[in-house]
Amino acid sequence: MTNTQYEIIDALYFLISFDELLAQLDLDEGFLIVELHKLHQKGWIRVYDDIDQELENHALLDDRFRKYQFLGSKQGLIAHNSDG
């Protein structure tokens, strides 16, 4: 897990919107999207289009990231805590 991925998962203990995550981490938007894709592919985060609609990896669209909400998955939180 990279330092950036660690910081992202650290912010995802509770459901958070893309804009809130972007502001909290102070990262470039495009870079954050790439890192979120990587984390989602590893199964370390969960992505929601609506509060009760989790998205599969193939369903993530770069132009919709501002509408998504994110949450660390059980596997991601375990990896985060073992890296810390």
Q: Which pLDDT score, from 0 to 100, does residue 56 have?
A: 74
Average pLDDT value for the chain: 88
Query: Which residues are paired to 47 by β-bridges?
Result: 70
Task: Give the integer Cα–Cα distance in Å for 30 and 13.
Answer: 22
Task: Give the integer Cα–Cα distance in Å for 31 and 83.
Answer: 22
Contact 70, 47 (CB under 8 A): yes
The whole domain housing 62 covers 3-83
Domain count, the chain: 1
Q: Tell me, what CATH number does 71's domain have?
A: 1.10.10.10
Q: Which pLDDT score, from 0 to 100, does residue 84 have?
A: 55
Q: Rounded to two decimals, what is the model's pTM?
A: 0.87
**Radius of gyration of the chain measured on its C-alpha atoms:** 11
Give the pLDDT confidence of 34-73 residue by residue, as tens digits: 999 999 999 999 999 866 787 876 677 777 888 899 999 9
Task: List CB contacts of 35: < 8 A, sequence separation 6 or more.
Answer: 2, 4, 5, 8, 27
